[in-house]
Amino acid sequence: MIKLFRVDHRLLHGQVAFSWTSALGADCILIANDSVMKDDLRKTSIKLAKPAGVKLVIKNIDDSIQALNSGVTDKYKLFIVVESIADAYELAKNCPQIKSLNLGGTKPREGTRNVSKAINVTKQEEELIQKMIDQGIDVEIRMVPNDTSIDARSVIQ
């Protein structure tokens, strides 16, 4: 069962690893990211941030979609983290069991605008968020569990 599907450009770090995992009661974290699979240093640092007693799985986007749709993840209280809104869109588009998305952090880049404390989006990312909303996916902005949830519809254009 998917407990939370989150976009965070930092992937797994203290805030995600501990506050979200414990608040959700998650027993498995899936990092869905193509570049981490090719970067042993990033893979190692992500493994170091894993909370004790929680399974960590790192897969590329295609393998993540396949795993989610095959049912092998159904036995877990799953916390999925992707690095970008584009990756979130790919999973959401291909995995009908995804019903909600948490935007936790996207770094400022050229062509982005700040829509909340830690969310910076391009026009194309706003369009992807709107497509997910149109698919019936609830998209919220919230950095940590005890923050107030902001409906993404209120900040995208």
Assess whether 88 and 155 both reside in one domain: yes
For 38-87, the pLDDT digits (tens) are: 999 999 999 999 999 999 999 999 999 999 999 999 999 999 999 999 99
Residue 56 and residue 50 in contact, taking contact as beta carbons nearer than 8 Å:
yes
Burial class of 26 by CB neighbour count within 10 A (0 to 12, 13 to 18, 19+): buried
Assess whether 105 and 130 both reside in one domain: yes
pLDDT(126) > 80: yes
Give the pLDDT score at 22. Answer: 94
Domain membership of residue 4 (yes or no) is no
Assess whether 67 and 100 both reside in one domain: no
Task: Report the percent of the chain where pLDDT is more than 90.
Answer: 94
Assess whether 101 and 74 both reside in one domain: no
* CA gap 81, 152 in Å, rounded: 18
Domain membership of residue 147 (yes or no) is yes
Assess whether 53 and 105 both reside in one domain: no
Domain membership of residue 1 (yes or no) is no
Confidence of residue 16 (pLDDT cuts 50, 70, 90): confident
Give the pLDDT score at 125. Answer: 97
pLDDT(14) > 90: no
Give the pLDDT score at 17. Answer: 83
pTM: 0.96
Measure the CA angle with vertex 15, ends 9 and 17; round to 5°: 90
Assess whether 76 and 89 both reside in one domain: no
Q: What is the CATH number of the domain that holds 94?
A: 3.40.35.10
